[in-house]
C-alpha cells in the first residue's frame, strides 16, 4: 500500500507541522517515508509545499510525479488548485475554504470556490473559523489534518492523534489536548 500526499499553503500557516505529524505517525507505524519540501519560509506568506510519500514498500524518489498524488491537503484554496496537475483521477483535495490573499492579483473568491466545488472529490471547510469558534486559533492546520485523516488511509486517525501527542509533548499537556481537540473537530466535520 502507498499514499502520495501534497501539502500546500503559505509560510506561517503550519504546513510543515502537518508534515511532521504525518511523518512521525508513518515512521512509528514502520512505514517507508520520503519527503521533499519547497518553501518560501524566509518570507512569511511565501509558498510552502511538501511532497510526502508513504508506503509499505521501498520508495525510490521523494518527488511526486504529475498525475500521481492521491491527496492534496491545502491550507489555502488557490494553493490547492495550483497543484491539481499532480492529483490522480481518484485523488481527493482537502482544503481550507478561506482564502489567504497574499498577492495583489489574487483570483476572484467566488470563481475560485466554484472551481474547487466542481472537483469530483473535494472536502472544504473554513478551518480558521472552526478553530477560532472553538478557542483554538493557532490550531487551524490541525483541524485540516483531522479533515484529511480518513483520506490518508495508510495511517489511522488514532495513529495521527498519537503522533500529535508526541510532536507537541514538549509544549505541555494543554497544547497536546488543544491540538487533539482541533484534530477531532476536523475529523468529525467530514462525513
The strand order across the sheet containing 122-125 reads: 32-39, 47-55, 2-10, 69-74, 87-96, 122-125
- The reply to whether CATH 3.60.10.10 applies to domain 2-189 is no
pLDDT, averaged in runs of 10, over the chain (191 residues)? 94 88 97 82 66 95 95 95 96 92 80 90 96 96 98 98 98 97 96 76
Q: Do the beta carbons of residue 95 and residue 116 sit within 8 Å?
A: yes
Say if pTM beats, i.e. exceeds, 0.85: yes
Q: Where are the domains of the chain?
A: 2-189
Q: Are 77 and 10 in contact (CB under 8 A)?
A: no
| 26-76 residue pLDDT tens | 999 999 999 987 655 445 556 788 999 999 999 999 899 999 999 999 999
Please name which of 36, 14, 27 lies closest in space to residue 155, comparing C-alpha atoms.
27
Amino acid at each position: 500500500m502507498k499514499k502520495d500526499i501534497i501539502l500546500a499553503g503559505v509560510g506561517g500557516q503550519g504546513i510543515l507541522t502537518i508534515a511532521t505529524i504525518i511523518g512521525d505517525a508513518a515512521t512509528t507505524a514502520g512505514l517507508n517515508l520520503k519527503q521533499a519540501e519547497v518553501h518560501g519560509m524566509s518570507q512569511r506568506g511565501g509558498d510552502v509545499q511538501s511532497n510526502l510519500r508513504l508506503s509499505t514498500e521501498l520508495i525510490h524518489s521523494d518527488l511526486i510525479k504529475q498525475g500521481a498524488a492521491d491527496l492534496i491537503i491545502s491550507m489555502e484554496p488557490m494553493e490547492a488548485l495550483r497543484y491539481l496537475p499532480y492529483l490522480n483521477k481518484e485523488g481527493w483535495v482537502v482544503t481550507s475554504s478561506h482564502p489567504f490573499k497574499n498577492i495583489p492579483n489574487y483570483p476572484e473568491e467566488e470563481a475560485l470556490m466554484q472551481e474547487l466545488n466542481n472537483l469530483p472529490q473535494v472536502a472544504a471547510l473554513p478551518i480558521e473559523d472552526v478553530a477560532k469558534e472553538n478557542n483554538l486559533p493557532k490550531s487551524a492546520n490541525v483541524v485540516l489534518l483531522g479533515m484529511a485523516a480518513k483520506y490518508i488511509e495508510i495511517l489511522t486517525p488514532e495513529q495521527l492523534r498519537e503522533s500529535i501527542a508526541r510532536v507537541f509533548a514538549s509544549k505541555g499537556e494543554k497544547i497536546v489536548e488543544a491540538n487533539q481537540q482541533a484534530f477531532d473537530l476536523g475529523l468529525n466535520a467530514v462525513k
